[in-house]
Chain A
Amino acid sequence: AQTVTQSQPEMSVQEAETVTLSCTYDTSENNYYLFWYKQPPSRQMILVIRQEAYKQQNATENRFSVNFQKAAKSFSLKISDSQLGDTAMYFCAFTLSGAGSYQLTFGKGTKLSVIP
Chain B
Amino acid sequence: EAGVTQFPSHSVIEKGQTVTLRCDPISGHDNLYWYRRVMGKEIKFLLHFVKESKQDESGMPNNRFLAERTGGTYSTLKVQPAELEDSGVYFCASSQGPLGGNSYEQYFGPGTRLTVT
Contacts and interface: CB of A to CB of B under 8 A. Distances in A.
B111 interface: yes
B95 A44 contact: no
B31 interface: yes
Given A33-B104, A43-B110, A50-B105, A104 B41 contact: no
Interface in B62-106: 91, 93, 95, 99, 102, 104-106
A44 B110 contact: yes
A45 B91 CA distance: 9
B45 A44 contact: no
Interface stretch (A14-22, A70-78, A80-88, A95-103): A95-103
A44 B109 contact: yes
B59 interface: yes
A37 B44 CA distance: 14
Contacts of B106: 47, 102, 104
B17 interface: no
A105 B48 CA distance: 13
B43 interface: yes
A105 B45 contact: yes
Interface of B: 3-4, 31, 33, 35, 40-45, 48, 55-56, 59, 91, 93, 95, 99, 102, 104-111
Interface of A: 4, 33, 37, 43-47, 50, 91, 95, 97, 100-109
20 contacts: A44-B4, A44-B109, A45-B91, A47-B105, A47-B106, A47-B107, A95-B104, A97-B104, A100-B56, A102-B99, A102-B104, A102-B106, A103-B33, A103-B48, A104-B106, A105-B45, A106-B43, A108-B40, A108-B42, A109-B43
